[in-house]
Amino acid sequence: MEIVMSIVAGILFMAATYLMLSRSLLRIIIGTGLLSHGAHLLLLTMGGLKRGAAPLLGEKASSYTDALPQALILTAIVISFGVTSFLLVLAYRAYQELGTDDMDKLRGNENHE
């Protein structure tokens, strides 16, 4: 199962890299979304996908899944959620002010502010 998950995470990283190298800002932001999905799936996979009960003591199971990676992922998810919403609003604002979402046209030099 870990093999399958690793391949899936790899495909997500591949798609994210491809999207982040494109010119449109919105595609880049979609790429960052896929990148964080890939990272979170990888974190879950690397914690081990052995079978066990959900980490709730009420389950009274003989073995549980590892609770630590789930806590890490939850933290990473809210952080990337905050950053993504900030980036989306920034992209909106930049579109209003600069009038373009083309990263090549955003490349400015000192002469025009």
Partner 1 sequence: MNNLVILPLIIPLITGIILMFLKDHVRLQKTVSVISFLITIGLSAALVQTVYKKGIQMHELGDWPAPFGIVLVADLFSSLLVFTASIVSFCCVLFAFRSIGKEREKFFFYAFVQFLVTGVIGAFLTGDIFNLFVFFEVMLMSSYVLIVLGGTKIQLRESIKYILVNIISSALFVIAVGYLYSVTGTLNMADLSVRISEVNQPGILTVIAILFLIVFGLKGAIFPLYFWLPGSYEAPPASVTALFGALLTKVGVYSIFRTFTLLFYHDQSFTHTIIGYMALLTIIIGAVGAIAYWDIKKILIYNIIIAVGVILYGVTLATPEGLTGAIYYLLHDMVIKGALFLLAGAMIVITGTSKIKEMGGLIKRHPLLGWMFFLAVIALAGIPPLSGFVGKLLLLQSGLETENYTFVAVLLISSLLVLYSVMKIFINCFWREPRLSAEQEKGSTKGLLYPPFMLLILSIFMGVGAEWIYPYVAEAAQTLSDPSIYIHSVLKE
Query: Would you tell me which residues interact with partner 1 (CB under 8 A)?
Result: 20, 25, 28, 32, 35-36, 38-40, 42-43, 45-48, 68-69, 72, 75-76, 79-80, 82-83, 86-87, 90-91, 93-94, 97-98, 106, 108, 110, 113
Token reading at 8: 């899936």
Separation of alpha carbons 113 and 95, rounded Å: 15
State the DSSP code for 102: B
Considering the complex, state which of residue 32 and residue 65 has its C-beta at the smaller distance from partner 1. Answer: 32
Q: Which of 45, 33, 101, 34 is nearest to 73 (CA)?
A: 45
Write down the least CB distance from residue 87 to partner 1, Å.
6
For the CB of residue 108, give the shortest distance to partner 1 in the complex, in Å. 6
| Half-sphere exposure at residue 23, Cβ-oriented, CA atoms within 13 angstroms | 6
Q: End-to-end distance of the chain based on CA atoms, in angstroms? A: 53
Query: Which of 60, 97 has the CB closer to partner 1?
Result: 97
Residue 54 or residue 106: which is nearer to partner 1 going by CB? 106
